[in-house]
């Protein structure tokens, strides 16, 4: 049984604050500062260039990829770290379109995170070969699968509502029609059990700074099903994806399997921070995490709905169809979120009217959920959001 009091003790959580935004940026693992400090002082500082070998920086993207693989049901050697999620989406999509070259539709839904759609749009425009990015409502995806579709590209957990797609069923349906699948696990990895191997997913991508707590701008990951990895021709073919980077050939030869999805020099400091977080993940059983996430989310929903009739729940009520976040719709959600933050509850706001709360059992417990619900009740019941200062828009939260 996972000891969540223990995992909570391993994070730095500012006193007096309830942090329900780990679905956007996970908190700092206490060990990360020293870990990154060691990488900087003992590796970069003392070993200098030789750390690429001596500290094995060169293989860090695959080594860390394997640790993430364990959390998403990917076998060793099928996940590699690097770049950002946007870039990894581009790589996956360009590869999939090349494999399914005789088809021209990319099917996605309006619940996909916008950058995935933007990257697809850019690729389609750049290729200029008549591809079409077709968007539907999340509930329509299954009915729109057809033999014209080259690629089904979805985010498993909707970033706004937390609605969970049935990855395994949709992948199976897609495969029946010869469609390749790309799953964005940004809101899944570390949020719930994921099994890309069991679901026979073709490509998966995700970021590490949300539930995986790697810190701001931590690298993304990409999974390519081993059955496809050696036939993928990367569009972004950088030197570290070359079969022999240090041969300095003038022509590209793809590296073996997932290695070819590497592009440039990996961000060693960010990867070190991620490793400190992954040490905590070693203590976690994903089924325990999922049970706890649903239990805490259900408690949160119950308390908020009783206390705040103005808030409309927009997440699925059935925990098994939800990721690890709970969202409410409120016309003045932006102002309300500002008011909550001022009172020690951090969640976030997503335009036009969604108040979003991440439920992350690694460091959030029932006490936190009760405190959060009480703050929300105070802000809503007493209209504390209704103050001019909260209506001035700023960039992020």
| Closer residue to a copy of itself, CB minimum distance, 286 or 339 | 339
State which residue, 70 or 239, has the beta carbon closest to a copy of itself.
239
Shortest spacing between CB 17 and a copy of itself, in angstroms: 8
Active-site residue, from 4, 11, 19, 113:
113
Whether 125 sits among the annotated catalytic residues: the reply is: no
Q: Exactly one of 158, 184, 202, 348 is catalytic; which is it?
A: 184
- Least separation in angstroms between residue 339's CB and a copy of itself is 14
Cβ-based nearer residue to a copy of itself, 277 or 297: 277
**Minimum distance between the CB of residue 286 and a copy of itself, rounded to whole angstroms?**
24
Residue 113 a catalytic site member: yes
- Does 203 participate in catalysis according to the annotation? no
Minimum Å distance from CB 32 to a copy of itself? 6
Nearest residue (CB) to a copy of itself, 167 versus 337: 337
Nearer to a copy of itself, 5 or 251 (CB): 251
Residue 62 CB, shortest distance to a copy of itself, in Å, is 13
Catalytic residue among 11, 90, 159, 209: 209
Residue of 35, 67, 88, 210 marked catalytic: 210
Q: How far is the CB of 327 from a copy of itself (least distance, A)?
A: 13
Nearer to a copy of itself, 35 or 322 (CB): 35
3-state secondary structure the chain: CCCHHHHHHCEECCCCCEECCCCCCCCEEHHHHHHHHHHHHHHHHHHHHHHHHHCCHHHHHHHHHHHHHHHHCCCCCCEEEECCHHHHHHHHHHHHHHHCCCCCEEEEECCCCHHHHHHHHHHHHHHCCCCEEEEECHHHHHHHCCCCEEEEEEECECCCCCEECCHHHHHHHHHHCCCEEEEECCCCCCCCCCCCCCCCCCEEEEECCCCCCCCCCCCEEEEECHHHHCCCCCCCCCHHHECCHHHCCCCCCECCHHHHHCCCCCCHHHHHHHHHHHHHHCCCCHHHHHHHHHHHHHHHHHHHHHHCCCCEECCCCCHHHECCEEEEECCCHHHHHHHHHHCCEECEEECCCEEEEECCCCCCCHHHHHHHHHHHHHHHHCCCCCCHHHHCCCCCC
Is 334 in the active site? Answer: no
Is 338 marked active-site? no
Catalytic residue among 202, 292, 356, 390: 356
What amino acid positions are annotated as catalytic residues? 113, 184, 209-210, 356
């Amino acid at each position: 049984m996972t000891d969540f009091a223990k995992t909570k003790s391993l994070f730095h959580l500012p006193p007096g604050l309830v942090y329900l935004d780990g679905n956007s940026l996970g908190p700092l693992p206490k060990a990360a500062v020293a870990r990154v400090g060691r990488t900087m002082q003992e590796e970069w500082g003392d070993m200098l260039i030789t750390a690429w070998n001596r500290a094995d920086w060169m293989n860090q993207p695959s080594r860390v990829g394997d640790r993430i693989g364990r959390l998403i049901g990917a076998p060793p050697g099928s996940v590699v770290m690097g770049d950002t999620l946007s870039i990894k989406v581009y790589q996956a999509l360009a590869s999939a379109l090349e494999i399914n070259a005789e088809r021209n539709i990319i099917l996605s839904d309006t619940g996909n995170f916008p950058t995935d759609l933007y990257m697809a749009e850019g690729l389609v425009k750049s290729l200029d070969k008549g591809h079409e990015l077709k968007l539907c409502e999340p509930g329509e995806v299954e009915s729109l699968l057809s033999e014209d579709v080259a690629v089904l590209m979805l985010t498993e957990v909707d970033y706004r509502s937390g609605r969970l797609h049935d990855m395994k069923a949709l992948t199976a349906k897609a495969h029946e029609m010869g469609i390749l699948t790309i799953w964005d696990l940004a809101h899944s990895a570390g949020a719930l059990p994921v099994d890309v191997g069991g679901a026979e997913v073709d490509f998966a991508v995700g970021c590490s700074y949300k539930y995986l707590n790697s810190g701001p701008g931590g690298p993304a990951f990409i999974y390519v099903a081993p059955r496809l990895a050696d036939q993928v021709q990367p569009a972004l073919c950088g030197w570290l994806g070359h079969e022999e980077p240090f041969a300095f050939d003038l022509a590209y030869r793809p590296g073996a399997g997932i290695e070819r999805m590497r592009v440039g020099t990996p961000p060693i400091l960010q990867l070190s921070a991620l490793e400190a977080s992954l040490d905590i993940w070693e203590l976690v059983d994903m089924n325990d995490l999922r049970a706890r996430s649903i239990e805490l989310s259900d408690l949160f929903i119950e308390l908020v709905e009783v206390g705040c009739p103005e808030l409309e729940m927009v997440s699925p009520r059935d925990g098994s169809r939800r990721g690890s976040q709970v969202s409410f719709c409120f016309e003045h959600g932006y102002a309300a979120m500002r008011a909550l933050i001022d009172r020690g509850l951090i969640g976030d706001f997503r335009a036009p009217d969604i108040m979003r709360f991440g439920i992350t059992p690694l460091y959030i417990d029932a006490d936190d959920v009760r405190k959060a619900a009480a703050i929300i009740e105070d802000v809503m019941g007493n209209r504390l959001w209704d103050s001019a200062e909260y209506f001035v828009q700023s960039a992020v939260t």
